[in-house]
Structures are given as C-alpha cells and as structure tokens.
Structure 1
Amino acid sequence: MQLKRLRIGGVPEHFNLPWKLAVANRAFDSLGVDLHYAEYPAGTGELTRALRNNELDAALVLTEGAVQDVVQHNTNRLIKVYVRSPLTWGIHVAAPGDIQHVEDIRGRRVAISRYGSGSHLIGIVDAIERGWSLDEMTFVVIDDLDGARRALAGGKADVFLWERHTTQPLVDNGEFRRVGERIVPWPAFVVSARREFISSYSSELRAALDVAATCAMNLKRRKSAAALVANTYGLQQKGAATWLSEVSWSNSYRRPTSALKKVIRALQAQQSIPQSAVDPDRVWHRL
C-alpha cells in the first residue's frame, strides 16, 4: 500500500517543537501517511508562498500572515488554530529618554522594520486597542532590530514594538526601557492548507494534526520540557520554562470568529488588504 505524502512546513522556532518530536518518534507512521516536516527560516511569506507553489500541503503560520495570504490570493484556507495563546510584544523606548509611561508614546514616532511588517501591524493594533487615532501615528523605517537600536539611540524614532523575549537582553542591559506590552488580540499561529489538498485528503490531514496536538500536550507535561526547549533552541532554561508556562497549543477545530474579525480590521487599517468587507467564512474551512 502506497502511503499518501503529507508535506508540512513551519518556522524553526520552539512553537513547532511538537512536530519535530512527533517526526523523530515516528508518531505519524500508523496514520497511513508519509509525513515530511520542513523548516522555513524566512517565515510567513516563505511559508505561504510554498503553499501557493504546491511545495507544501499545509503550514503553521502566524495568524495575521495567513489571513492576509488567503484574502490576497485565495488558494489556501485556514483549518485550525495551532497555538491559541497570543504573542506578546514589548513597547520599548530609549532608556535615557523622557518617555516614562506607555501613555507618553501617543503621537510619537514609531520605528518599524518596513511597511506591511509585523512591527508596523502591531503598532497599529496597539493604537486601536488604546482608542487612539491612527492619524496621529508617524512611522520610521529602520529595517531590523539593530536599526531600531540606532534609531532610538540617535533620536530618529521614539518607540519600538518587538517580540519581548527577543528584546529582553536590551532591557536587561539598560539600552531599552520597556514601558508596556501589547498582547496581540488573536491566537499566535494557525494551520493553513491548500484548498485542493483539503478537498481530497481532509481526513488524513486532520489525523496528522491530532497527533501533533497530542505531542504538544505531552510536551507540556514532561518534567524535562524546559531543558529540552532550551537545548534545542539555544535558550536559557529559565526563559524556556517561562515560555512553556505561557504557551498553549490547541486541540480544537473551532473557528475563532471574533479573533479573525480583529485580524481583518487590523490588516485593513494597515492597508494590507482591501477595505471591502471580508467574511471569516472566506478564510476558514471547517474540517
């Protein structure tokens, strides 16, 4: 009997350790599928492009990027929340500066890696969640984290939003001051899959996702989990333990309608998708 090949992709980050463990432990062998898990270091854009190019059948993608891809290209569909806990971004300023409280960032210049990027989007989300007008916002393109460090130190930008674990060393050494945090108001990662693959192999896909969900739950219960995460991804064990206590993988196939609407509104505010109405039914397929 020839096994159906199933190609899954994700970023090389600790969120996807359950898939690496499941493959290593041959947890998919009993499903009748030949599962291949591949890592895509360039992230969301590379993953969604691989789906469109039929290089992958499904991918573990940041929710906002997956929604944007579906709306723009209509070749893939979201089928499951993968990581239901949200990402948390730190709101940073130069430590020696005059900004002491998060309320002080209103109307200040926001450093972003590029227009359309995550730092751009989350800056907009933060303003929306605080009830501030987007017309007050000014953005400064700084390319990357090093560019943000130079911009804040040189007074070319005032505020920088970035994933908090990445910037923690800069807070610890006194270069950045973290004046607040923005918990993104939607699940961190979803599973996006090619429409053609869903229509032909939905049962095999769901079975594989269930196995990965079980592996994720088992990882959370392992006493050695923090050490495993730390050793695999080069983290401090204390930081890995904190991350494990916060992350929550999902075993549900329920559509997060309210969260999807928030993603759509944020992407429209960013002008990454059309302003016309986008129904969550357009981006989600019920397995």
Structure 2
Amino acid sequence: MSVSLPDTSQASDVKPASLDPTIGKVVPLRVGYVREHFSSPLLQYAEDDQEKTFTLVECPSGTGQLITRLTNDEIDIAIALTDPLISGIAKGSEAYRLVGSYVTTPLNWAVITGKDSKYQNISDLKDTKIGISRHGSGSQTMAYVMALQQGWPTDNLEFQVNNDIRGLIDSVNDGSTSAFMWEWFTTKPYADSGEVRFIGSVPTPWPSWLIAAHPSPNRVPPNSLRAFLTALTVYVRTFGTPANRAGDSLEFIKDKFGYPEADIKAWLDTVAYPDDCATIPRKVIADTLSVLEKAGVVKAPEGGFQVESLVAADTVKLI
C-alpha cells in the first residue's frame, strides 16, 4: 500500500546504492530494521523503491541483533534504538557510527510479567532476574534505567537472554525470569489476550530511534547514504502529516500489523519523526550518554565523551 507523496525531485538524481568496482554493478544497501509499527515509513519507502536501491533485512530480536549484524557485515545500515546504539560506540565498537535520526519522541517501555506471577508492581522486581533479548539491547539498557529510577544498585542486576519476544513471554510464564521490558503497543496484544500482564512502564529519557551505518566508504558510500536519508525524510514527513495520521498512515499500520484501530490512533498521537533524517541534535547524544553513565551502562573516558566521535561527520549534521 503506497501513500501520496510530495515532490521529491531534489533527491531523485542520486541513487541510494553502492557500485561494486569489481563488476561495475549497483549493489543495494542492506538496511536492518525491526518489523514494528515504527518502521511504517521505511516499509512504505521500500514498497515504492522500484529500482531496488536497498533491501530490508528484518532483525526481530531488536537492536542487539542489528548491532551484531552490522559487526558481521550482514547489513550496512541499521534503524535502531538510541540507547544501545550510543552505548555500543561508547564501549568501543568500530562497527558503526551514527548517521541520522528516525523517531524524535520517547519510546514507552512496558514492564511485563507472567499472567500468574506474584509480581504486582515495579518495586517488586528488585533483586530478581530480568529477561532481555540480547546483551547490549534496548531491553537491557532500559532495565538499568528502571533500576536508576527506583534507586536500586545497577552493578548487580541479573539478566537472562531470551532472544526474542516469544522467548521473553515464555520466561515470565515459566518463572525463569520475573519480568521483561518491551515497547508498549507492540506487546499490548499479548496483555489484552491475558498471556502476560503489564505492571508499569518506563519511557526513555531520550528520543527513541536513530540511524547508524558502517563507517567504511567502500561498504557504505557517503553519497549513497545521503541519498537514502534524503528519500527517507520524504517518507517520514509524509507519514506524519495530520491528514495521513487520520487516513493513509493509520490504514497502512492496520493492514501491515493488524493492531486495533484505537491502539493505532493512540500511538499516532504520541509519535513524531524528524524534519530531516540526516540530522541529530547534539543534546540527544550528550544527554543519553549522561543517563547511561549514571546507570552504570557506560564509563566516560578521561576528559569525558566527545559527541563528534560517535557520528559520521561526512554524512550527519549535528544541530
């Protein structure tokens, strides 16, 4: 299902793909993503990409999997959660740099426990084992943020890796973990059906999604990356117009994800996308690093973190 788009002539002269010098063939960029309602503008772009300038690589386990695939040369670009992307670079990863913004509003993480578990409130989870998808994932980072908010020590948190949403749900119902954290609207159908229970929520203290890419110009040519970000900007702007929020965007999510219309409308009322995907507010990176450092997720080097070291200077504009 396509949406009506404004004029994109300023981006039409550049093709967001790389040229393999050994065979003179255009190689589509590999874009990793999580198939959730947040990805709707990207999915619309992919449906309209007649020249196949990029291919989508689904990463159902979330940002930890996206980072692993960037590291293993399985994807070139990742649209992923802000906090694990930033913490990965802060911990020394050379597999990617930040290149842009995707969602400018916080992500609301539900705190989820088993349908018959004894846990009734977030405070009940102190000194218990928390389920996460992968080490370095948003589900782990937000557990640290939750602990920080609750005043718990962050140096003795205990985690169990359960890979994906199904593994996480099974773990809280078989009692191997007390709870896990995942995006509210994505997991609400499981709560509505009685498979799990929500006992609270923790919004991120930062905008929720950024874009990262491998830093090698041979793997991700800067011109190709800029063209991809320029075109993606058109789609996020279009998706977020009042008319499309009430019409095409709502219907697209309903068709692709099957969520109840009331839930979609509630989410659309809370989400915002950037005016320009090729920009990142300097404050977003600095504030995220500050919270992650307080939570014990990262440790600042002598002299402090340098925001510029986390971004691809030839692509992104810090504002």
Farther-moved stretch of structure 1 (161-170 vs 202-211) = 202-211
CA distance in 2, matches of 1:93, 1:8: 35
Q: How many angstroms does 1:119 deviate by?
A: 2.2
CA distance in 1, matches of 2:271, 2:228: 23
**Deviation string for 1:162-215 (max 9, x for gaps)?**
222333233224343312101122222112234435755676455334323333
**Deviation string for 1:126-179 (max 9, x for gaps)?**
112333211453334444444444443344332222222333233224343312
Counterpart in the other structure of 2:309: 282
Of 18, 21, 25, 2:41 maps to 18
Of 32, 41, 56, 1:39 maps to 56
Q: How many angstroms does 1:17 deviate by?
A: 2.3
Of 57, 64, 76, 2:83 maps to 64
Of 234, 237, 246, 1:211 maps to 234
TM-score, normalized by length of structure 2? 0.70
| Distance change (3 Å), C-alpha of 1:260 and 1:82 | farther
CA distance in 2, matches of 1:283, 1:191: 12
Farther-moved stretch of structure 1 (120-129 vs 97-106) = 97-106
Of 179, 182, 195, 2:199 maps to 179
Counterpart in the other structure of 1:102: 122
Counterpart in the other structure of 1:234: 258
* 1:262 partnered with 2:288: yes
Farther-moved stretch of structure 1 (48-57 vs 142-151) = 48-57
CA distance in 2, matches of 1:54, 1:147: 26
Q: How many angstroms does 1:3 deviate by?
A: 5.2
* 1:243 partnered with 2:267: yes
CA distance in 2, matches of 1:145, 1:22: 26
Secondary structure at 1:246's aligned position in 2? Answer: coil
CA distance in 2, matches of 1:213, 1:150: 35
Contact 2:16–2:54 under 8 Å retained in 1:
no
Counterpart in the other structure of 2:8: none
Percent identity among equivalent residues? 24
Counterpart in the other structure of 1:9: 31
Farther-moved stretch of structure 1 (169-178 vs 239-248) = 169-178
Counterpart in the other structure of 2:179: 159
Q: How many angstroms does 1:116 deviate by?
A: 3.1
Of 143, 150, 155, 1:130 maps to 150
| Distance change (3 Å), C-alpha of 1:213 and 1:35 | farther
CA distance in 2, matches of 1:173, 1:210: 36
Q: Which has the higher helix share?
A: 1
Q: How many angstroms does 1:85 deviate by?
A: 1.6
Contact 1:91–1:160 under 8 Å retained in 2:
yes
Contact 1:110–1:159 under 8 Å retained in 2:
yes
What is the correspondence of 1:183-198 to structure 2 with a 5 Å cutoff?
183-195=203-215, 196=217
Paired amino acid for 1:262: T
Structure 1: gaps of 5 or more residues: none
Q: CA RMSD in A?
A: 3.6
- Count matched residues: 279
Q: How many angstroms does 1:83 deviate by?
A: 0.7
CA distance in 1, matches of 2:116, 2:74: 48
TM-score, normalized by length of structure 1? 0.76
